Structure 1
Amino acid sequence: MPSIEPKNVTAQILHRARGNPPSTTGYTAISNCFPGLEFDIRGLLRHIFVGVVLHESLPFVVDVEPGGPQELAGSPDWLLVEVEGNQLIGTIMGPRQPNGPSEQLGAFGLERFNALAPIFRNVGQRVRCVFFNTESSQQVEVNLEVRSILERRVGGGGEQKAGPALSKDIAAPGDLTQGLCSPWSADFLECGCYYWAASRPDLVNATAGADGKIDGHNWLHRNRTAATPPQYSIRNSDLVTYEELYRDWEAALKFIIGGKDET
């Protein structure tokens, strides 16, 4: 009986092998609080350039491979900011105060799959990469070879073609899951009434003033007391972190009874 064999890579990727549950396909991923619950697609970019290993979240150099650019070794502060003229870090502009002048407010990492899309066709070729040291402000340009995300196989005519499997050079076993969040902890901190309702309060010890304004404490405010300023005046550094929830949630969080805690 003749069989149908799809030639385009997209159709091959959508194929689900017998015995694999639906959750093994990418389009079923929940991806609620990034990097998601099944895998972190950003892990594919850790080894996209031969010679360096990048962090999956922000393109900092976390390791230099044997034979890689030694000028990037020994410092955790090298950040990939540009590839073949394509910026990976964007500048945020805007007013600090209502109706104020526009000024530079900082930098933000762009979505790397879109930012790097033009270079994916340069598999096996070297591209110009610009690295910036956030500590010393030094800048270095190096030419790095682009790896193929998909496995390369030899076709009938001897030419190389991309197959439906991920390249072993791009993602070793465990690479796409090593940075996954702890779901309850990450979503518990991330989700709130303003975004995605979670089974926790946003504001505790709340009181309403004569003008209708409500003051209270952010529930994630670390080490708060009755004298702690209301929630809108706190800094991010005063809030419970992901790591604290992962490692010591029972000490980091308080019991809330009737909308109030022991403060």
Structure 2
Amino acid sequence: MDNRSGKIFPRNLTARAAYQVPGNPTVTRLEDAVGNCYPGLEVDVRNFDRRFFPGLVFEFVGRDDNGAPYDEPQRYGAWLRYVDYLFDPELQADNADARRLLLDIELNAGTLGAHTDWYLEWVEQGGKRLSMRLHNPDNPDYPLDGLYVWRLLRGLAPGALKIGLKRRGAPDGAEVVFEGWRRHFTDPVTGVINNAYLPGELLQSLCSPWQHDFRDCACMYWASNHPDAVFQELEPGEPILPNDQAANPLLGNLRVDWLRAERSRDISAEAANTIAKNRPYQFDHFQINHEWQNLNVVLHDHEIDSVYVPLRERHANPYANPAELARELREKLGPMEMTLALEYLYARFSLLSPEEAAGSHWRTMKEDVTFIRGGLMIIATCEMQHLRWVNELLWMLHNAGLTPSYEPVLHPAPQLPDGKGGWRDSALRRLTPETLDAFINIERPSGFLDGAYSRVIATLRSPIYPAHAIELAERIDSDGVDHYSRFREVETALKAYQGADPALPYLRRVEIGTPEQAAAALAIYQEILRDLGQGYTDYAHGGMAEGAPLVNAARLKMNELLQVGEKLAADGIGIPFWPQK
């Protein structure tokens, strides 16, 4: 191992040894690899040919399946990914051919590096030229599929070789020609792998325990587990919340791709929602070989690039006994979670749909309401999950013999904390600035809910409680800060409409309807409560098989309730989830 700047670097010495290293099993030798070409078990031989020509690194771009249509012909072939003449040992050799080729590549490095669409156009050996285009059996004008190109290069003999590179789509069609040799992949005497190949390079497309697994392994192999969307490390002195997350809602909710190639914080963009969308901006294999040590350790969803400082532990007074804990969960926290879910859902119904907003003269309204509706849906869903976890805590206490019975908690609370030390009546309201302030206040860190769950967590640390119970309470507690940050983002998005005329242009004119007007929605709502109640009761008594279909049925009915609620709200009718005063 090398030790530079505190980082660990593999040197791969045993893999390059020209003898059987004592202590290493026989299967570590290259000649013992399973010879099924590719993908292979120990080695993917395609990776040898990525460096078939000294100083250049290619990538073979092809279709996912040989029978697939040529729908992206300009991408297929041997794509020049890197000019790597500075570290290629064959170009550092003390002979005329190496010096000539090194100088030639150096002179053309700027031209090749200025554009990313250079491809191998032809190779010439022994007076015979092979085109990477004219042999295409599907269409002579198309470039060859990358797999076909690889097969042609695989058949080249070691020795003198001339190659031509051309930019795809360049108007002048100019070529860059190099005269060199086809690389020897191993030492002709010892059989040791050529030093041009970095540790892990021959395994980079396999499910093998090396640094590339976390990039490309798509199966359930252990090495595929890695961070994906993470929060960046905060700079010293930045304002933080009590849980050490950024107080700035944009930073607090901006997740970036852990594998991003551009590590600068100033230009980091939010991670996309699929692997395919993130892939163009991630480290590729060549970069990982050189810079994998720059990937940060991640703790608590945050990147750590320096000495880790544990989160500040909050201290709270535990409840006196299991009965007091159960009473708090049953009479306060559970009903509050349900009330919040319904308040947030009602507020979401009050927003224009993206289709309705598309006709507005406000240029960004469609995007704004899409973003806000999505955020409210996430938060409301989380509150329903919290309600489930409160019920689970209650039945865990019962099953542990700490409380005499279990009854499902599926009723709203008549009052909620106002976030200012007092209480307010539960209310179904449109998402006005006043309503949003109320949501922000109740989710504010170190508020009533935050403190209440801190007491629950402190209580569940006692060994008399089930070990798994504290994890549920901690998850509820940590979600509160996320909700607060999301509501702050909503607040930021709605600032554009301050002083609008008419006011609140992003809202529907919704009023709480009568039970008769919302009869269909209320019927679905009651079915949801019935199924959840029976399902949770079955869960509490060990009937997972009996309870699961009921809980799943309730989830399907929740989607149905959303659809019916949207239709009512479009007509100006809000669902009266509880009797109105």
Please report the TM-score for the alignment, with normalisation by the length of structure 2.
Answer: 0.23
More strand as a share of residues: 1
More helix as a share of residues: 2
Please report the TM-score for the alignment, with normalisation by the length of structure 1.
Answer: 0.46
